[in-house]
Chains A and B, each alone.
Chain A
Amino acid sequence: MEVSEPVLLILLSLAEQPRHGYAILQDTERMSDGRVRLSTGTLYGALARLLDERWIERIKEQDSSRGKQAYRLTAAGRRNLQTEVARLKHLTRVAALRVARKET
């Protein structure tokens, strides 16, 4: 599955703890310093896709009297996120080297 920036931010948000929809929106905005603000339609499109791929799962939020649905990473989702983070680390390392070489 292709991991776009919004999807990566959603996964990172859920890597910390299970969250419900609005909490994910707020957290992704916070993580990106306000640069990425997902719309509700985009968020649920991404969540549906991640559920379909079994990267995340739905749970009942424990501290909610209304029985709100929350989302959390599955073991496979966490593994895939770690792979994606490793890929990004490698990319930024290569990018830093290339840029440094160009400047000298």
Chain B
Amino acid sequence: MLPFYRALLRLYPAAYRYEYGDEMMDVLSEVKGEIREKNAITRIFFATREAGGLLSGALQEHLRSVTGSYDNRIFSLRRLGMKSEYRFPKTTVGLMMVILAAVMFTIEKAKAISASVPHANPPVGPIQSAQATIVQTLLVTLIWAIVSGAIGWGILYALRRTGVQQLSEMNPAAGQRPSK
């Protein structure tokens, strides 16, 4: 059974295999020794359970490597789907929302003030058109900045993940979790 378990272990991400693979094989070997004397049905039950555990564990780890969270929720309330060393603080999200709200409020306030002030010289069509264009440009620029920032972050995050994975494969010590 051990070669079968080893084959299932290959379904895990490489970094995880490096970190826990040998230990898991040791445990599987000890479990195998423990059930050696049991009857065939018990052995089949144990083997099925171990195989199921390895398959679901591999799936869980791949999901985690995609979402960065053990909760497997892309938008976790606790942290926004990143690895622990790159947590996205809730306060930052809150701050960004406050800034966005403040910008929107300022634009609306400016519009209201502009409408309430009597114009000595009634605006002519081209000036109103220019004001509207400025507001539209500001909004488009803001949306563009947010979207491009999100895309940029996504690319950097993906590159970092790939880089860490490759480094851990090249240099085994890089993938090791520090023990205290």
Chain A interfacial positions (CB closer than 8 Å to B):
1, 20-22, 25, 37-45, 47-49, 51-53, 57-60, 68-69, 74
Contact = CB atoms under 8 A, between A and B. Distances in A.
Contacts of A44: 20, 23-24, 27, 57
Interface stretch (B46-54, B94-102, B108-116, B166-174): B46-54
B24 A40 contact: yes
B49 A39 contact: yes
B70 A52 contact: yes
A41 B58 contact: yes
B180 A41 contact: no
Given A58-B179, A68-B23, 8 more contacts: A1-B70, A22-B31, A25-B27, A41-B56, A43-B53, A44-B24, A49-B70, A69-B23
Interface string B33-62: 000000000000000011011111110110
Interface in B128-180: 177, 179-180
B85 to A, nearest CB: 10
Contact of A48 (B16, B49, B55, B58): B16
Interface residues of B, number: 27
A25 B46 CA distance: 13
Contacts of B26: 21-22, 68
A74 B16 CA distance: 22
B80 to A, nearest CB: 16
B84 interface: yes
A16 B23 CA distance: 21
A57 B180 contact: yes
Contacts of A1: 70
What are the 7 A-B residue pairs with the smallest beta carbon separation, nearest first? A39-B53, A41-B53, A41-B57, A58-B179, A41-B54, A21-B27, A22-B30
Interface string B77-110: 0000000100000000000000000000000000
A21 B24 contact: yes
B14 interface: no
Nearest to B58: A41
Given A48-B16, A57-B179, A40 B60 contact: no
A39 B54 CA distance: 8
